[in-house]
Amino acid sequence: MALLASTSKLASGARPVAASRRTAVRVQATSRVDRYSKNDIIVSPSILSADFAKLGDEVRAIDQAGCEWVHIDVMDGRFVPNITIGPLIVEALRPVTDKVLDCHLMIVEPELRVADFAKAGADIISVHAEQSSTIHLHRVVNQVRTRAAAAARALARAQSQSQTQSGYRIKDLGVKAGVVLNPGTPLSTIEYVLDQVDLVLIMSVNPGFGGQSFIESQVAKIRELKKLCLEKGVNPWIEVDGGVTPANAWKVIDAGANALVAGSAVFKAPSYRDAINGIKASKKPVAAAVA
């Protein structure tokens, strides 16, 4: 870990984007995502349920409460009915946390935005598989992977030329590519990109809003996905998003998921730490003894 962006400008009220442009940022040898083992359970709180009036504080709070990733729901009012976050917010949050910024793009034509999110500091960029989002799924997935490869080459060049000093900026090193399936979209849609992605995100609600109820039928889809990955000899992260709580997380963990998004279950809980730990430790309830 070489250089670290100053966050003091944030506290003094200066614009964080401008501040981070002037300052060298952390240059990493590997992706932030690679710090984590796929044998562990990752919790990625969705900031959609955070208090947007104090977003930086909310992200610091979940970071300190022990989350591994920060889930950022990007909605354009076209692919889904809601409009939320763009790359400027991702860029503003980048100096606030060193945790993985897990960007879920619920937008039309994500291919036009991948570069912006990568530049803003996203660690994972996940795009929807449905054709109402992108016509060229394979192409956009590879667009994300190409950025990662280009950034790795740039880092190698920078290191050989001792350019990792102030002013040299590599933010998109090791961007991981994810693909997302809506509850009604079959697994077969991603069969031919499964060997190209680092992460598959199974939606357990219809996308667009936080606080919805978990759709039980998606547990079987996660189990089927895990089986397909084993058959194909690939091992992407299996992430689940929507209605996940400490009470039901065990179902998706048991089915093979290792990254769990939780919005309302974390941000509406009295203790973020207890909610995150509760999701990780979620267990099937023991059946009550019959007298």
Ligand X SMILES: O=C(CO)[C@H](O)[C@H](O)COP(=O)(O)O
Interacting residues toward ligand X by CB under 6 A: 46, 48-49, 71, 73, 104, 106, 205, 207-212, 241-244, 261-265
Q: Which residues bind Co ion (CB under 5 A)?
A: 73, 104, 241
Is 76 noted as a catalytic residue in this protein?
no
Position 139: which residue type?
A: R
What is the C-alpha to C-alpha distance for residues 201 and 212, in angstroms, rounded to an integer? 17
Nearest by Cα to 46 from 274, 259, 270: 259
Residue 76 structure tokens: 């354009």
**Which of these is catalytic: 172, 241, 254, 274?**
241
Residue 56 binds which of ligand X, Co ion, none (CB < 5-8 A, kind-dependent): none
Q: Which residue is nearest to Co ion (CB)?
A: 104
Please check whether residue 158 is in contact with residue 104, taking contact to mean a CB–CB distance below 8 angstroms.
Answer: no
- Smallest gap from Cβ 215 to ligand X, in A, equals 10
Catalytic residue among 34, 73, 116, 198, which? Answer: 73
Residue at token pair 């400008």? 9
Residue 241 among the catalytic residues = yes
Q: Which two tokens stand for residue 270?
A: 């009295």
Closer to Co ion by Cβ: residue 104 or 113: 104
| CB closer to ligand X out of 105 and 140 | 105
Which residue has the closest beta carbon to ligand X?
263
Interatomic CA distance for residues 287 and 169, integer angstroms: 55
State in angstroms the smallest separation of the CB of 150 from ligand X: 28
Which residues on neighbouring strands pair with residue 76, listed in sequence order? Answer: 83
**Which of ligand X, Co ion, none has residue 246 at its interface (CB below 5 to 8 Å by kind)?**
none
Q: Closest approach of Cβ 223 to ligand X, in Å?
A: 21
Q: Residue 95 touches which of Co ion, ligand X, none (CB < 5 to 8 A by kind)?
A: none
Residue with tokens 């979620």: 282
Other beta carbons within 10 Å of 83: 12
CA 103 to chain centre: 4
Which active-site residues does the annotation give?
A: 73, 241
